[in-house]
Amino acid sequence: MTSTTPRSGIDLSELDPATRPQDDLYRHVNGLWIDRTEIPSDKARYGSFHQLQEEAEKAVRDIVVEAQTAHYGTEERLFGDLYASFMDEARADELGAAPIADDLAVVQRVDSIPGLLRAIGEFERTGVPGLFGLFVDNDPGAPERYLVFVNQGGLGLPDESYYREDEFASVRDAYTPFVARMLGLAGIDAAEARAERIVALETELASVHWDKVRSRDSRSTYNLHTWAEVVELTAGVDLDVWSTAMGAPEGALAEVVVRQPSFLQGLAGLLTEERLPAWRDWLSWQVVRAAAAYLSSDFVDASFDFYGRTLTGTPQKRERWKRGVSLVEGSLGEAVGRIYVARHFPASAKTAMDVLVENLIEAYRRSIADLDWMGAATRERALEKLATFTPKIGYPVRWRDYSALSIDPADLLGNARRVAAFEFDRELGKIGRPLDRDEWFMTPQTINAYYNPGFNEIVFPAAILQFPFFDEGRDSAANYGAIGAVIGHEIGHGFDDQGSRFDGDGRLTDWWTEEDRAAFEERTRALIAQYDSLAPATTPGHHVNGALTIGENIGDLGGLSIAWKAYLLSLDGQEPPVIDGLTGAERFFLSWAQAWQQKSRDEETIRLLAIDPHAPAEFRCNQIVRNIDEFYATFDVSEGDALWLSPSERVSIW
C-alpha cells in the first residue's frame, strides 16, 4: 500500500547536531552544508538561489543552442544568432579593440562641453553609461501615466561610498591602475595620467551623489519637474544638447522625475571647460567599460580581474557559454522564457501557488484587522490596499514582441548596441501611452520575486517555484515556511517603510494618521537598531546598515509571521501530522532556514553590506525568528539561549 503521508521536505541527515536551533537556527539547518561546500570558483557567493539558477542556466543553454538552427525570421533564430555571435571568441580576439575605434574617435573630436553632452547623448541609446541613469516607470503622483526618471550616474565603482570610505581604500588603489590598463588595451596613449584624471573626476562626481539610504526614500526622490526646470537646475549647462542628441521621442522629456536634484546642481558645477580634458578621458573610459564584455579576451580578462576578483573575491570568470546565456537572458529574456515555461513549468504548480497566495492575503487581512497599534481610519485604508493587490504567477499573459530587433551573428558588439537601442526605444515609447499592466520586469526563468508599488502587484516567476522554496510533493508546512514566506515578503513590501507610502492605486500619498505613522516608525526604528548591531562572523569589522536594509527586513519579518498564520489557515483546524519526527511548526521554521542556505566570499560580503538593501542570509534567517513568538514555542527557546530576545525587545509590525 502506498503511503499518503507527504514528505517532510526536510532532510534530517543535513541537520547539524552540534548546533542547537535555539542558538543558531541558520547553522543548525545549513552548518553541515556550509562546512563541506566550496563556493564554485566562478561565483562570489553560492546557495539555494544560485543552485536553482544553475539549473535554469542549463535549461536556457539547451534552448539557445537549439535555436541556432531555427528558421530565419523567428524569435528563436534571433536569440540563437545572438548567442552564436557571443560564442565566436576567435572573431572577438581577431578584432581586438577595432569595434570601439570609431566611438573613441568621436570622443577625441569633442572640443567643448556642449560637444561632450552631444556625444554622451548619442551614446546613451546604445548602452554606453552616461551622466544619468534613465528609466521609465509610472508617475507616483499620477500613477495612470508613464514618466522618465533621471537618476544620478557617472561612477565606475559600485557607489559613492567607495570613493570616500577608508574600508575601500584598497579598492581605490586597484581601480586607477585598472582604468589605465583598460585604456592601454584600447590603444589610448598616456593611459596612466588619463586614469588619474578619470578617477579624480569620478571622485568629484561621487561627492555630489546621494548615499544608498537617502536614495531609497520614495518621497525625497520624487521631484517632478518640467524639462525647462531641469535645465534651470543645471544653470550654465545646456542639457538640451544632450536630450536632442539622445533622440528621445518628442515630448518624452516634457516632464521628468529627478530623483536627486542636488546631483544635477553639483554636476553643473563640474561641467566646465577647464575640466574638458578630464571629461574626454572619462567618456573614453565609459566607451571602453561598456564594450569590454564584447571585445577580445584581454579586455574580458582585465575587466574580470577588477570587477570580479578585486570587488567580489571571485577567483575565476564564468565559462563563456554561461556569459553567453546571460547576454541572451538580458536581451531577449521573454522569448527564451516562453519556451522555458512550456518545458519546465507545470500548470499544477501555478494552481498550487494560487491557493498559497490566497491564504497569504487572507492571513494579512486578518492580521491587519487585529492590529492593536493601528487606528480604524488607517486600518481601513490598509485593507483597501491589500484588496487591490494583483498577483502574477509563473509567466506573462502576453509575451514581449522582439520582431523589430535586428541581430547579426557576426557582429557581437553591434548586437549588444542594437539590443540597447531597442530597449531604449521600447522604454521611452511608453510615454504618452496607457499603462501596460501585463508587463513583467523579470523573466520566467529568474530565481527571484518582486513587489511593484506603482502597480501594487506581487510577481513570482516560474523558476523560483521549485525546491527548496516550493515542492508540490512535500507537506504544506515546508512550503509555507519557504515560498509562503517569500509571498508574504513581497506582500509585506506594500507595507514596508517605503511601500506603505503608496496607496492601492500606486499613488505616493500619505494615507496614514500621524499617530499610526508614529507607531509604525517606532517599530521600524527598533528593527533598524537590531540590524545595526549585527556583523557577519566572517567579516566582524563590517556591520549591517539597518537603515539601508529596513525595507527588506520588514518584508522578511512580515513575510514569515504572516506565512505562519496562513499555514494555520490552511490546516482548517486540523492537527498537522508529525513527519520524520518533526511537527508542522518545526518543519515550517526549518524550511525557512533551508531557503536561506548560502555561503559568500568575504569581499562579496563587504561589497553587499555597502550597497545591498538585503541583510546577509544568516541574519535574514536568525534575526527574523528572534522576533517571532511561535519560534520560541516551537523550539522551547529560553533566556540564556543565543537566539533569545526578551519579549519587550521583539518587534512585531504586521
Angle at alpha carbon of residue 195, lines to 194 and 200, rounded to 5°: 100
Cβ contact 327:79 at 8 Å: no
In the numeric block, the cell 528621445 is attached to 248
CA-nearest of 38, 56, 96, 61 to 316 is: 38
Confidence bin at 4 (pLDDT 50/70/90): low
Confidence bin at 5 (pLDDT 50/70/90): confident
| Mean predicted confidence (pLDDT) in 434-440 | 98
> What is the model's pLDDT at position 260?
98
| Domain parsing of the chain, residue ranges | 15-38+46-58+345-396+440-649, 97-294
359 SS3 class: helix
Lowest mean pLDDT among 2-6, 71-75, 107-111, 476-480: 2-6
User: pLDDT of 324-366, one tens digit each?
Assistant: 999 999 999 999 999 999 999 999 999 999 999 999 999 999 9
Specify the pairing of strand 390-394 against strand 598-600: unpaired
Distance CA(63)–CA(58), nearest Å, equals 9
Q: Supply φ then ψ for residue 120, to 5 degrees.
A: -60, -45
Q: Supply φ then ψ for residue 133, to 5 degrees.
A: -100, 120
Distance CA(511)–CA(499), nearest Å, equals 12
Q: How many CB atoms lie within 10 A of CB 12?
A: 10
> What is the model's pLDDT at position 578?
97
Distance CA(39)–CA(600), nearest Å, equals 7
In the numeric block, the cell 544553475 is attached to 54
- Tell me the whole-structure pTM to 2 decimals: 0.95
Angle at alpha carbon of residue 215, lines to 281 and 145, rounded to 5°: 100
Q: Rounded to a whole number, what is the distance in angstroms from the first to the last CA of the chain? A: 45
Cβ contact 100:288 at 8 Å: yes
> What is the model's pLDDT at position 398?
97
Q: List, as one string, the DSSP characters of 127-161.
A: T---SEEEEEEEETTEEEEEEEEEEE---SSSSGG
Confidence bin at 3 (pLDDT 50/70/90): low
Distance CA(518)–CA(520), nearest Å, equals 5
> What is the model's pLDDT at position 236?
85
| Mean predicted confidence (pLDDT) in 163-171 | 97
User: pLDDT of 589-598, one tens digit each?
Assistant: 999 999 999 9
Spell out the SS3 assignment of 83-94: HHHHHCHHHHHH
User: pLDDT of 450-472, one tens digit each?
Assistant: 999 999 999 999 999 999 999 99
DSSP lists the bridge partners of residue 393 as 460
**Which are the contacts of 248, defined by CB distance < 8 A and separation ≥ 6?**
148, 428
Distance CA(78)–CA(203), nearest Å, equals 41
Torsion over CA: 309, 46, 391, 456 (sign): negative
| Mean predicted confidence (pLDDT) in 380-398 | 98
Q: Supply φ then ψ for residue 143, to 5 degrees.
A: -70, 0
Mean pLDDT computed over every residue of the chain = 97
| Mean predicted confidence (pLDDT) in 476-505 | 98
DSSP lists the bridge partners of residue 146 as 138
Residue 512 confidence (pLDDT) above 90: yes
**Which are the contacts of 81, defined by CB distance < 8 A and separation ≥ 6?**
68, 407, 408, 409, 415
Residue 2 confidence (pLDDT) above 90: no
- Write out the CATH class of domain 97-294: mainly alpha
Cβ contact 409:81 at 8 Å: yes
Would you state the CATH architecture of domain 15-38+46-58+345-396+440-649? 3-Layer(aba) Sandwich (3.40)
In the numeric block, the cell 518640467 is attached to 226
User: pLDDT of 193-249, one tens digit each?
Assistant: 999 999 999 999 999 999 999 999 999 999 999 999 999 999 889 999 999 999 999
Give me the helices (H) in 37-128, please: 48-67, 75-87, 89-95, 101-108, 113-124
Query: Measuring CA to CA, how many Å separate 2 from each of 6, 126, 327, 575, 599?
Result: 11, 60, 47, 22, 38
Amino acid at 525: R
| Mean predicted confidence (pLDDT) in 377-393 | 98
> What is the model's pLDDT at position 6?
86
Confidence bin at 299 (pLDDT 50/70/90): very high
Grid cell listed for 394: 509563473
What is the share, in percent, of the chain residues with pLDDT greater than 70?
99
Distance CA(54)–CA(86), nearest Å, equals 19
User: pLDDT of 26-67, one tens digit each?
Assistant: 999 999 999 999 999 999 999 999 999 999 999 999 999 999
Amino acid at 249: P
**Numbers of helices and strands, H then E, in the chain:** 27, 9
427 SS3 class: helix
Residue 481 DSSP one-character state: I
